[in-house]
Structure 1
Amino acid sequence: MTERHVPAAVPRRPGPGRGAVRARGPGRFRDGAQDHRRTVRNTLLATTTLLLTGAAWIGVTGLLARSELIAAQQDLSTLRRSVGPMAASGAVPASSSQRQQAALSAAAHAARAHWLTTGPAWYTAAQLPFLGGPVRTVRGATYAADRLAGDVLAPLARILPQPTPGSHGNGMSEALTALQQHGPDLARAARVATQVQVDVHGLPRSTWLPTADRARAGLAQQIDRLAPVMTEASLAARVLPPMLGAHGERRYFLAFQNLAEARGTGGLPGAFAVLRADGGHLSFERFGNNTEMETAKADVDLGAEFANRYRGSDPIHVWANSNMSPHFPYAARIWASAWHEHTGEHVDGVIAVDPVTLSRLLRVTGPARTADGTELTADNVVDLTERASYAVYDDIARRKTFFVDAARAAAGQLMTAIDDQRLLPGLLVAMNDAQRDGRLKVWSAHAAEQRLLESRPYSGTLPDTPGPFAGLVVNNAAGSKLDYYLDRSLVWEAGDCVGDEHAVTVTVSLTNRAPAFGLPGYVTLREDHPPYPTHPGDNRLLVSYYAGAGATFTGAVLDGRPAQVTPGVERGHSVFTLDLELPAGSHRTLVLHLLEPHADGAPTVLRQPLVTPLLATLKPGSACHV
């Protein structure tokens, strides 16, 4: 056979086939991993840069927003001073345009602060768990400040009119016109203030940034003060125009309560006046004293509960007892009816003030002088009418004449000040302080107006709604004028639960600071003629404690010994009364033990306005569960 020659195999160049892939596979995997790491690294770098940029943006804009809020606060301080104590004294008069300028400037700064805390960075940061708490707080705070300055304070600053250069004008009449014009704005502002109050209290209270927490707490405190003021302003825009005679002449019976002899609404109704209102113009038509009203007999039905509660005292027919109840509408209806029976004239409402109210008004208006030249000032009017005059005038008729002269002088000074637009803001502040303390009370004979008034503090309404309640009311039972020297304190403490009720301990302390010597006989007289011996300066009080609805009595101790109290009911409140002799210089302590069904929180406190304010201490307990 012929041998075939087979050529030697020639090595083939590696191509793009499978052999190439197998040959270079490990290097390709390494390149892919590097690309992935590079992508992750770049993503992390970009994210970190974005976060740092966002944090820097939040930090810078946060500082700028803080500066804007500080500027807004300075404007608001200027606005507040224009109607505060300095303006009230007349030392720093501020025009309406100045108030509006301050309000508009505050609104502009607050709006910029809000704008600086909006946008993607702030929104995204606010959504972060834990870390976003302060951001949400700051965003919410600037938004609240923006709404308050722009939608609440600006309308409020526009209410008082601009004084005419060279003329004081009729401040009350023009303020009344402004109230009518801006009533809808005030109602809208009140709604905004209430909503902002809810929003602020909904912000995080405790975050990792104490500065933000303090800012929220401060803002909450401010709005808690402002929201009620706006509610009052909105209500005033509805009721003041008709009450001040915008739609026709009005007349009011004005009682000056003598705090030296305590009564449920404050003090004995002494001097009085008839106030006329016509188109915002106020004037006094008549002045008198309680001697004139002692023969007037009211004709009014206050219900079986009232008749049973005050059986024996006859408030409807005995002028000196007409305001024993702390529920002012009762006294107002009695006084209005008695005036009608006495004169045949109807009044459109009743107003009550006391010497402390006069003191606050005189601090704005300046001193007044009586017919005999006596100067009444903010510093002396309380002492002069409640203490010193009893020593100066030993004749009862002359002293009563002095009380009427003092009321007439203070009223005349007030009428002059009301027409001065520069003083009107200070007068409004003084009257607001008086009504807040229960020293200025108002009742309207017009049912629609009274329904609006009765929920406000100045209505003097004893609330009849369920809930914890603590009210200490004293009525002078001696016929003396010793309550100028009376100190009162009350401690309310919720203890253990008994089923769904709280065991409540109430400690009432009363101190008679009257001196045993040197007081005029009319101050220390005892018209009650007790069957036991007494000494000058000894006092006697009917001490009534008003508990919450449905409260039951379990025991009482007077100065460490068991005591008997008389139970009663008034406007749903359980009432426990003790007839108490209070010798001169003595201190007596009454402890009441009660079971209250609605005592889970702090009680509403009834503060009877006397010369020395009530000192109240509240110690609420936790909720009871069955």
Structure 2
Amino acid sequence: MPETFLPPAARTAGRVVVWVLGLALLLLVFAIGWLGVRGYLAYWHLSAAQQKAPAIAKDIDNLSAARAALDDLAEDTSNARSLTSDPIWQGAEGVPWIGPQLAAVADVAEAVDDVVDGTARPIASVAGGFGVKAFVPVDGRIDTSVFSALADPAAKAAKVAASARDDVASIDRTPLVTPIADAVDKLGGLLSEVASGTDALARASALLPSMLGADGPRTHLLLVQNNSEWRTLGGIVGSMTPIVAKDGALALGEQIQARGIPSYPDSVLDLGDYRTIYNAKPGRFLQNITQVPDFRLTSQLATEFAKRNGVTADGVMSIDPVALSYLLKATGPVTLPTGDVLTSENAAGFLLNEVYIRYPDADQQDLVFSAAAGAVFTALTKGDVNPGALITALGRAGSEHRLYLWSAKKADETVLAGTTLAGEPVQSTADTARMGVYFNDGTGSKMDYYVTPDVQLSWSGCGTGSTPRTLSLQVTLTNTVPADAATSLPEYITGAGSYGVPEGIARVVGEVYLPAGFAIGPSTTSTGAGFGGAMIDGRQVLSYTFDLKPGETESVSIDVVADTDIREAEAWVTPTADASRSPIVDASCDPTGSDLSLR
């Protein structure tokens, strides 16, 4: 109908509708342009921050420079946060499809800014006052005031980092386009690392002053595990060395050789359910205290053995030669009185194998081990240490379950609880099924240096909402010793036929601690004589024994089944002499089907 025939009110209403639609369209175009420009600028600032971060981490030795660089980086993250938090951006977050993308970007920008401003900058501000070199000993002493000064900012930073990690983890990935979902996943992984790192710093800052004797002298026992003769936590304990800490000063005491400590007719402490698998051996012989998969009990056994031999200890530390090789990257090579030179490349092989070939007498071996411990201790405490490399070495050793720490003081144990250093028994969580895959030597020798374990973990039944799910473990053991080992290797390595095991054969006694809530599936098999078992603290444990001839391979396959939504799994494996094999094997369910995602 022509406009001239419309009533005036209708014509006016029509113009209003046109004006409103036109204004709305104009506002929409403006909003899209606004969001596009601000989105691009936010992306630019986040990209700039991402490019600057590695350089800061690489130059961490120079904390003054790091503080300035962090201020610059913080400006980028703050701008990105501001650009993605204005009213127009927030209003658009409710729009279908595009809204979740904008909300995710805003959440990411907020989390990154929180971490930089509430974690990295405060720590760098305090640490910059004394420099990163203050974290390492000088002339045998560590300045405990460094950690005291860091305690409060580190604790606050840990809370900020954990909150940022949780915020990003809670972002719903379902409506996100692939690039944004991938970016959120990647950031989530990075924030988990940051949260772990700041948590470790907070705990260390709270723990170390007292353990280093700031509140009175402390005596710690240093255990060096020998991965050539397997025990659950790594290897036998050949010796204990007291380390006395007083106001940050560290002094090495006289080494206590395990061969010189008598065995006892029964366990020196109550072993609880562990006795059903290991009998009384962990509490009768010092060499066997690492047979239980709980470093807290191992430490209590160690202090009891020490007490019965005239030494009172307040704590226990444990390390293995592979972890020592990591530390040597920070100290550089050390020379022993024998003329042998230990480097990060040869230390593990020398201490776990070559020493038995070059020094067949047990007393000579003990002297070499004592000299090696003293040389590494001196190198670590004299002050000529690369602090960045030292922190990296300690972090790697801890994450690989090659470094443990225990304190007899309840307050210290509370700080350690839940960390890899505490050495607590493997436990599942709400989202991760965990099992223990442990090896113990049955040869009475150093043959395990030649045994190669291959541990594989996989899921099936991983489709969305499908239960039950099956978690499959495959353990394969191969004896790589030379065919003529019986005649070419020293008896101290082959075992000389002890315990009824012919020379050249490696007897491995394995235990698998199943995840709580999982039942054994029908496909569980062994190429050996089958499985034994027991219940430990309410969880099922399978055991098996292999006698491996030179070149021989044996394997076990264990399936466990549960009605569960858990999609992550880990196997904690006895750390071996091979640094290239991670003691943590993990697997993830693919939610789109039954495929396995191995990492």
TM bucket normalised to smaller: 0.7 to 0.9
Helix, strand or coil: the match of 2:349? helix
Deviation for aligned residue 1:151: 0.3
Match of residue 289 from structure 2: 322
> 2:341 aligned to 375, 392, 397, which one?
375
Deviation for aligned residue 1:255: 0.8
Mark the structure with the bigger radius of gyration: 1
Say if 1:216 and 1:552 are closer, same or farther in 2 by CA, change over 3 A: closer
Deviation for aligned residue 1:486: 1.8
> 1:400 aligned to 352, 366, 373, which one?
366
Q: 1:283 corresponds to which letter in structure 2? A: A
Q: Do 1:272 and 1:404's aligned partners in 2 also have CA atoms closer than 8 Å?
A: no
Which stretch of the first structure deviates more once superposed, 604-613 or 327-336?
604-613
Task: Write the distance in 1 (CA, Å) between the matches of 2:308 and 2:423.
Answer: 24
Match of residue 187 from structure 1: 155
Deviation for aligned residue 1:160: 3.4
Say if 1:520 and 1:432 are closer, same or farther in 2 by CA, change over 3 A: same
> 1:451 aligned to 397, 400, 414, which one?
414
Match of residue 302 from structure 1: 270
Which stretch of the first structure deviates more once superposed, 363-372 or 193-202?
193-202
- Pairing of 1:413-562 with structure 2 (within 5 A): 413-416=379-382, 419=383, 423-463=386-426, 468-493=433-458, 505-517=472-484, 518-530=488-500, 534=502, 536-549=503-516, 557-559=525-527
Task: Write the distance in 2 (CA, Å) between the matches of 1:600 and 1:208.
Answer: 23
User: 1:225-264 deviations in whole A, cap 9, x for unaligned?
Assistant: 1112222222222222211212111110001111111011
User: 1:283-336 deviations in whole A, cap 9, x for unaligned?
Assistant: 32233432233468997433432333322x522121222221121112211111
Task: Write the distance in 2 (CA, Å) between the matches of 1:571 and 1:550.
Answer: 13
Match of residue 245 from structure 1: 213
- Pairing of 1:75-86 with structure 2 (within 5 A): 75-83=52-60
User: 1:167-206 deviations in whole A, cap 9, x for unaligned?
Assistant: 9995696763232123222222111111111211223425
Helix, strand or coil: the match of 1:549? coil
Task: Write the distance in 2 (CA, Å) between the matches of 1:189 and 1:469.
Answer: 29
1:103 and 2:80 equivalent? no
Which stretch of the first structure deviates more once superposed, 142-151 or 281-290?
281-290
Match of residue 60 from structure 1: 37
Say if 1:427 and 1:225 are closer, same or farther in 2 by CA, change over 3 A: same
User: 1:136-188 deviations in whole A, cap 9, x for unaligned?
Assistant: 11111111111010001112324535458999995696763232123222222
Helix, strand or coil: the match of 2:171? coil
TM-score by length of 2: 0.88
1:338 and 2:305 equivalent? yes
1:570 and 2:536 equivalent? yes
Match of residue 133 from structure 1: 100
Q: Do 2:406 and 2:422's aligned partners in 1 also have CA atoms closer than 8 Å?
A: yes
Q: 1:525 corresponds to which letter in structure 2? A: G
Task: Write the distance in 1 (CA, Å) between the matches of 2:137 and 2:504.
Answer: 48
Q: Do 1:148 and 1:196's aligned partners in 2 also have CA atoms closer than 8 Å?
A: yes
Match of residue 195 from structure 2: 227
Match of residue 378 from structure 2: 412
Q: Do 1:306 and 1:570's aligned partners in 2 also have CA atoms closer than 8 Å?
A: yes
Deviation for aligned residue 1:473: 0.8
Say if 1:590 and 1:404 are closer, same or farther in 2 by CA, change over 3 A: same
Deviation for aligned residue 1:34: 4.5
Match of residue 29 from structure 1: 6
Deviation for aligned residue 1:370: 0.6
Task: Write the distance in 2 (CA, Å) between the matches of 1:348 and 1:280.
Answer: 15
The two structures, once aligned, show a CA RMSD in angstroms of 3.1
Deviation for aligned residue 1:403: 1.4
User: 1:264-290 deviations in whole A, cap 9, x for unaligned?
Assistant: 110111243211222222232233432
1:589 and 2:552 equivalent? no
Task: Write the distance in 1 (CA, Å) between the matches of 2:104 and 2:131.
Answer: 45
Say if 1:26 and 1:320 are closer, same or farther in 2 by CA, change over 3 A: closer
User: 1:60-107 deviations in whole A, cap 9, x for unaligned?
Assistant: 222222222223223321221134xxxxxxxxxx22222222222222
User: 1:326-377 deviations in whole A, cap 9, x for unaligned?
Assistant: 211122111111111112x311100000111111111111111111221111
TM-score by length of 1: 0.84
Q: Do 2:445 and 2:494's aligned partners in 1 also have CA atoms closer than 8 Å?
A: yes
> 1:236 aligned to 175, 189, 204, which one?
204
Q: 2:147 corresponds to which letter in structure 1? A: L
Match of residue 20 from structure 2: 43
Q: Do 1:478 and 1:526's aligned partners in 2 also have CA atoms closer than 8 Å?
A: no
For structure 1, list consecutive stretches of 5 or more residues without a partner in the other structure: 1-24, 84-93
Say if 1:77 and 1:374 are closer, same or farther in 2 by CA, change over 3 A: same
Q: Do 1:265 and 1:324's aligned partners in 2 also have CA atoms closer than 8 Å?
A: yes
Deviation for aligned residue 1:423: 2.5
Match of residue 7 from structure 1: none
Q: 1:45 corresponds to which letter in structure 2? A: G
- Pairing of 1:276-315 with structure 2 (within 5 A): 276-294=244-262, 300-311=268-279, 313-315=280-282
Match of residue 143 from structure 1: 110
Q: 1:451 corresponds to which letter in structure 2? A: T
- Pairing of 1:349-388 with structure 2 (within 5 A): 349-388=315-354
Helix, strand or coil: the match of 1:112? helix
Q: 1:448 corresponds to which letter in structure 2? A: A
Q: Do 1:298 and 1:316's aligned partners in 2 also have CA atoms closer than 8 Å?
A: yes
Say if 1:496 and 1:31 are closer, same or farther in 2 by CA, change over 3 A: closer
> 2:355 aligned to 384, 389, 392, which one?
389
Say if 1:586 and 1:281 are closer, same or farther in 2 by CA, change over 3 A: same
For structure 2, list consecutive stretches of 5 or more residues without a partner in the other structure: 592-599
Match of residue 5 from structure 1: none
Q: Do 1:393 and 1:399's aligned partners in 2 also have CA atoms closer than 8 Å?
A: yes
1:275 and 2:240 equivalent? no
Helix, strand or coil: the match of 1:542? strand
Say if 1:337 and 1:478 are closer, same or farther in 2 by CA, change over 3 A: same
Task: Write the distance in 1 (CA, Å) between the matches of 2:87 and 2:337.
Answer: 72
Task: Write the distance in 1 (CA, Å) between the matches of 2:143 and 2:573.
Answer: 31
Helix, strand or coil: the match of 1:129? coil
Match of residue 596 from structure 2: none
Say if 1:296 and 1:547 are closer, same or farther in 2 by CA, change over 3 A: same
Task: Write the distance in 2 (CA, Å) between the matches of 1:260 and 1:485.
Answer: 8
Task: Write the distance in 2 (CA, Å) between the matches of 1:461 and 1:619.
Answer: 23
Q: Do 2:266 and 2:283's aligned partners in 1 also have CA atoms closer than 8 Å?
A: yes
Q: Do 2:136 and 2:381's aligned partners in 1 also have CA atoms closer than 8 Å?
A: no
Match of residue 22 from structure 1: none
Task: Write the distance in 2 (CA, Å) between the matches of 1:409 and 1:208.
Answer: 56
Q: Percent identity?
A: 24
Q: Do 1:361 and 1:378's aligned partners in 2 also have CA atoms closer than 8 Å?
A: yes
Task: Write the distance in 1 (CA, Å) between the matches of 2:348 and 2:186.
Answer: 36
Helix, strand or coil: the match of 2:498? coil
